[in-house]
């Protein structure tokens, strides 16, 4: 039989069996890992040559996870009330873009947050940070909403995760 035909049929059979016969105790990651390498031992050609063919699934570019942002916790600052937003670090991220908006307590619409002072760089409407927290502040009663996305820098190109869910915080007690 043709080696390519045997290889193709074996791959189809292994993939079919992997989907149906995964062990109950295996996690999805373990099942995917087991299915990513297929070794074919061509018994029909064994007499003519002692070789086995190994086919590996192509490595996919590792996507960045979506950051999980915790709701803002307020604390006394030096000149104002600070609201601290934190998120869990994303594996493989070189930094984060932060989209934060604010509004006075009685206003109905949020506008881009413009702090009086920050050391953070801004790229368009978004703050850039390598930290896993952002501190907003206000002297009056303000509401904040924030979302974050991770990025990986490759030369001048950036790869982004999806935006996190929106997290909220305020400088006053509700």
| CA dist., res. 39 & res. 102, Å (int) | 57
- The answer to whether residue 61 sits within a structural domain is no
Count of structural domains, the chain: 2
Q: Domain boundary residue among 56, 83, 99?
A: 56
User: The domain spanning residue 134 has which CATH number?
Assistant: 2.60.40.10
Question: Is residue 154 domain-shared with residue 122, that is, in the same domain?
Answer: yes
Considering the domain architecture, whether residues 9 and 79 belong to the same structural domain is answered as no
Give, rounded to a whole angstrom, the gap between the first and last alpha carbons of the chain. 76
The residue-averaged pLDDT of 104-118 equals 89
Band of the pLDDT at 118, cuts 50, 70, 90?
confident
Residue 149 · residue 158 · CB < 8 Å? no
More confident residue, 1 or 137: 137
Q: Would you say residue 66 lies in a domain?
A: no
The pTM of this model reads 0.62
Instruction: Decide if 92 is inside a domain.
Output: yes
pLDDT value of residue 28: 45
Contacts of 126 (CB under 8 A, 6+ apart): 97, 98, 99
Cβ distance 68 to 147 under 8 Å?
no
Q: Find the domain containing 117 and state its range.
A: 73-170
How does residue 123 score in pLDDT terms, banded at 50, 70 and 90? Answer: confident
């Amino acid at each position: 039989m043709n080696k390519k035909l045997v290889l193709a049929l074996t791959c189809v059979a292994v993939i079919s069996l992997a989907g149906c016969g995964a062990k109950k105790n295996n996690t999805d990651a373990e099942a995917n890992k087991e299915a990513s390498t297929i070794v074919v031992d061509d018994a029909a050609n064994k007499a003519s040559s002692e070789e086995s063919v190994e086919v590996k699934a192509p490595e996919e570019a590792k996507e960045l996870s979506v950051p999980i942002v915790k709701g803002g916790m307020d604390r006394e600052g030096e000149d104002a009330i600070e609201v601290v937003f934190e998120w869990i670090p994303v594996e493989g991220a070189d930094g984060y873009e932060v989209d934060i908006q604010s509004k006075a307590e009685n206003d109905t619409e949020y506008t881009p947050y413009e702090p009086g002072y920050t050391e953070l760089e801004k790229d368009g409407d978004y703050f850039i940070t390598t930290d896993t927290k952002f501190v907003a502040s206000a002297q009056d009663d303000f509401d904040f909403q924030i979302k974050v996305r991770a990025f990986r820098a490759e030369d001048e190109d950036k790869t982004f995760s999806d935006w996190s869910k929106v997290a909220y915080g305020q400088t006053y007690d509700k």
